[in-house]
Structure 1
Amino acid sequence: IIQGKGVLGLAVPGCPETYEEPRSQSRQQQQQRDSHQKIRRFSKGDVIAIPPGIPYWTYNYGDEPLVAISLLDTSNTLNQLDSTPRVFYLGGNLLEAEFPETQEQHPQRHSSPIGRRGGQQQQEEESEEQNEGKSV
């Protein structure tokens, strides 16, 4: 870490996402401790080693920008799920942008490029066809 301070979170396989109950019943000493998550504080001068393939996140909680040097072996198969690097958003990936084939499986209703008038015109044409069929 060149500049700044913050926290680092690791999603380590085999580490359940559960929380431990408070250890003390006293309100003054009551603290919720999380013995399962791997969250560590870091500051300027720290060297952090993250195993290949382990998802991680960082958060800057200081008053200055966080500057870090990151070295990554992109040829290591543990660092990629496939040969195409993908962007990951903490809120989730945009399925439509990343996987267009999913749109074919779950088609969405879209309004006609003609707009409302086009739908009204189609209804009028269908109505005329029905009326013609009755009058013959």
Structure 2
Amino acid sequence: MRLFCLSLAAAGLIAGAANAAPCNANFKVSGVPMLSAMSYRTFEVFPKAKAPAMLQKLAQAVSAEGFDGVRIDKGLSSINAFQETTGSGRIQTLRVVARQQGANVRVDAIFDIQAGQLTDKKIVNEGLCNIINGAR
């Protein structure tokens, strides 16, 4: 079962410091439910890590969370993927970026859904953090 289950509203279904904080504490949501696209994002900083080495692990975690079309862009140190869970043909997108910051790596995960789609933010938070934790 996919952790990022979405439903269409038309169908009547509703489905200390920033750098040191864990993934759950960095979770943010932007957009207006039903009226605009929604963006769910979080990040975590991994000390003494290398971004290129993390990409494959992150891609495997993305796939394990039920995403399709997983693509690694080594030049951008990013992973792009999508899923379509509603049966409507309208996809939801995921982007994971691993940025080298000195001896540390900051991993950002952004999940976007289209206007008119809803999801449970707790489920998205858990799924994004599962992906980020896959880099360990």
Which range, TM-score by smaller chain?
under 0.3
Higher RCO (CA < 8 A, seq sep 6+):
2
Q: Point out the structure with the larger strand share.
A: 2
Quick check: which has more Rg, 1 or 2? 1
Q: TM-score, normalised by structure 1?
A: 0.23
